[in-house]
Every structure is written in structure tokens, then in C-alpha cells.
Amino acid sequence: MSFDIDTYQSLSAKLEVGDLDFDAFRDQPLDPKALRCLRYMHDVENHTVCYLRDVLVTRAHRDPEVTSFLTMWNYEEFWHGEAIARILDAHDEQAGTGRIAALRQRLPKRDAWRPLTFQLASAITPHLTAVHMTWGAVNEWTTQAGYARLAKLAGHPTLSELLRRIMKQEGRHIDFYATQAKGRLADSRAAQRLTRWALRRFWAPVGSGVVPEPEVDFLRTYLFGDDDGRAMADRIDRRVDRLPGLEGLNLLRGAVAVAA
């Protein structure tokens, strides 16, 4: 697996939605469960800039390939959130900056210490970037899978097309994170040990700690709680298994089992 940052930069763009009929959601609204998922996804996509903050206070900011990618990644994720906001708007739901401002006000006070925590950890070990890249790969795998599951479960043609476009961009994000993770883990047993410990100890489905825990439980049950969802979760676990030193973690299987 390889990743060409110059090619990615040439392909990176604002998500194209000008030809999509968002008024179709007024004529054919989503069911409450699908809409509940989209609220979650809207909030997580719009929180990407805060994840970016946590990475840039570490040694990762010294790597120009990493920072070039993160710039494009954050831009694309922002427009994913804006597109989902238009669906919420069509259902007369609060979306955009007003909703995100309220979300950030509800974050626990300890969130303010996250940048310092990551900065100190990066000063202690040179392998924190390996953790971040691996964490990013797992989160992008699960995000893309979540969009695929929602498209199938909701069965709404406009939503399916929008999510297909988002998933295409997410696929390039996966390529970067997975390539970085594989290379950094292969180079160091210490990086493997640290990353394995961090994932086993701290990893939770993307959005955990940002959205209320009942919403996290709902999302993983709704999207991954049936046979097809569990099969997709197992496929992600197998991808993690193929990263150097990370076999047998069963992150997704454990997350789905918690919600079952």
C-alpha cells in the first residue's frame, strides 16, 4: 500500500452537492432512527477540527506530508458536516454552527486539557504519531462502514448518493492513515507496543466523549448490531489485525458487544 500526497492534493476538493435535491427529504423524510444517526454524524464531522488541534500540538506537525494531508482532510470533513447539515435543515432540525456551539459548551471541562496531554505525551515518546495515524485509520474505517450501513438501512436515494460521495473521499483518508500506520508500526516494536496499549486502553467508537453516551450506544447497535453489521465490524477488525503488532485486538467486536 502506498500513498502519493501530491496526487491527493490535486484530488482534494469541497464535496460536490450542487446537483443533489435536498428538498427530496421534505417530500420523503427519513425515519427517526436514520435521522438520529445523521445528527451524530453531523456532530462528529464538525468536531474534526478539534481532533486536528490534538495532533498538531505533537511532533506530527514537523512532518510536512502529515500536515499537508491534515489540511486537506480537515477541509473535506468540514464540507461533509455542512452537507449533512442540509439534510437536518430539510427536516427542520437544528444544524450548523448553532448546534455545534451548543455541543462544545456541553463538553466536559477536562477537554480543555487534551492539547496539553498530547503535547506532554509527544515530548516523552517519539512514537505518538504512530498512535495517531493508527487511531485515524481505525476511525476512518469505522466511519466509512457506518455511512455504508446507514445508506443501506435508510434506503433513501438522495441520502445514498450523498453518502457515496462522502465515502469516496473517506476512502482516500483511509489510504493515508493506513499507509502511515503500517510504515510507522513496521519500523519500531516500541511503536507497536505503545499503539497496542493505547488502542486497548482508550479506543472507543468515533464520537465517544463528544456526543452523549446513549447516542454512541444507539449508533453502534443500529448500524452494527445485526448480522450484516457484525460482519462489517469483523472485517474492520481483520484490517487492524494486518497492521504490524496489532493482531487480536478485536476493537470493533468488543464495541458492538458492549452495546448488544
pLDDT tens-digit readout, 16-34: 999 999 999 999 999 999 9
- What per-residue confidence (pLDDT) applies to 257? 83
Backbone φ/ψ region at 96: left (φ over 0), alpha (ψ -120 to 50), beta? left
pLDDT of 161 reads 98
What angle do helix axes 32-46 and 64-90 make, rounded to 10 degrees?
A: 150
- pLDDT at residue number 127: 97
For residue 44, count other CB atoms closer than 10 A to its CB: 25
- The pLDDT of residue 108 is 87
Give the global pTM: 0.95
Q: What percent of the chain has pLDDT over 70?
A: 99
- What is the chain's alpha carbon radius of gyration, rounded to the nearest angstrom? 18
Q: Which of 223, 221, 85 has the alpha carbon at shortest distance from 154?
A: 223
One-character DSSP codes across 56-84: HTSGGGG-HHHHHHHHHHHHHHHHHHHHH
- The vertex-205 CA angle with 201 and 110, nearest 5°, equals 65
CA distance 160 to 153: 10
Per-domain residue ranges for the chain?
22-190
Residues 6+ apart with CB under 8 A from 150: 34, 37, 38, 41, 159, 163, 223
Which three-class secondary structure string do you get for 90-129?
HCCCCCCHHHHHHHHHHCCHHHHHHHHHHHHHHHHCCCHH
- The per-residue pLDDT for 134 is 98
CA dist., res. 215 & res. 33, Å (int): 11
In sequence order, the 6+-apart residues with CB closer than 8 A to the CB of 225 are: 256, 259, 260
Tell me the mean pLDDT per 10 residues along the chain, length 260.
88 97 96 98 96 96 96 97 98 95 91 93 97 98 98 97 98 97 97 98 94 95 95 97 98 83
Phi, psi of 208 (to 5 degrees): -60, 135
Q: Which fold has domain 22-190?
A: Ferritin (1.20.1260)
- pLDDT given for residue 142 in this prediction: 97
What is the sign of the dihedral through the CA atoms of 82, 84, 90 and 96? negative
